[in-house]
């Protein structure tokens, strides 16, 4: 099979969405704005953005800092009923679940539009 036997894309070919079927140079109504252009109202950084920033700060700064200081506060952790080993396993799960919940919420919200 040679290279000439394959499909060749020809922009403006008949039947293509951007083509002018009448040939009179008139643009169709749905070609006025590209579909992949974001809505200007979505470009705002509102409370949802700050929620994501807080989750990332918790995951990458607060929890590692707590894990670093954990041996010095071992008696306070023991009062919670967790051993040091269990605390090292459970504590990183908190921001992981939080980031996962935010990701699912964001995906569901973007699909509902």
Residues 23-74: pLDDT tens digits?
Answer: 555 555 555 656 666 666 666 677 777 888 888 898 888 888 887 887 777 7
Counting residues of the chain whose pLDDT is more than 90, the rounded percentage is 2
Looking at residue 37, what is its pLDDT? 65
Looking at residue 97, what is its pLDDT? 92
CA distance 23 to 13: 11
Segment among 40-49, 50-59, 91-100, 104-113 with least mean pLDDT: 40-49
Q: Count up the domains in the chain and report the number.
A: 1
Domain extent for 67:
3-111
Mean of the pLDDT values across residues 4-27?
61
CA distance 44 to 23: 41
Q: Which helix (H) or strand (E) holds 87?
A: helix 84-90
Instruction: Name the DSSP class of 56.
Output: H
């Amino acid at each position: 099979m040679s290279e000439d036997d394959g499909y060749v894309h020809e922009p403006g070919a008949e039947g293509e969405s951007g083509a002018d079927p009448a040939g009179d140079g008139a643009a169709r109504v749905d070609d006025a704005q590209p579909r992949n252009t974001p809505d200007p109202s979505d470009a705002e950084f509102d409370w949802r953005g700050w929620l994501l920033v807080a989750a990332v700060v918790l995951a990458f700064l607060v929890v590692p800092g707590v894990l670093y200081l954990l041996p010095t506060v071992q008696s306070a952790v023991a009062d919670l009923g967790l051993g040091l080993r269990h605390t090292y396993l459970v504590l990183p799960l908190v921001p992981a679940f939080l980031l996962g919940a935010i990701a699912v919420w964001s995906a569901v919200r973007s699909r509902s539009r």
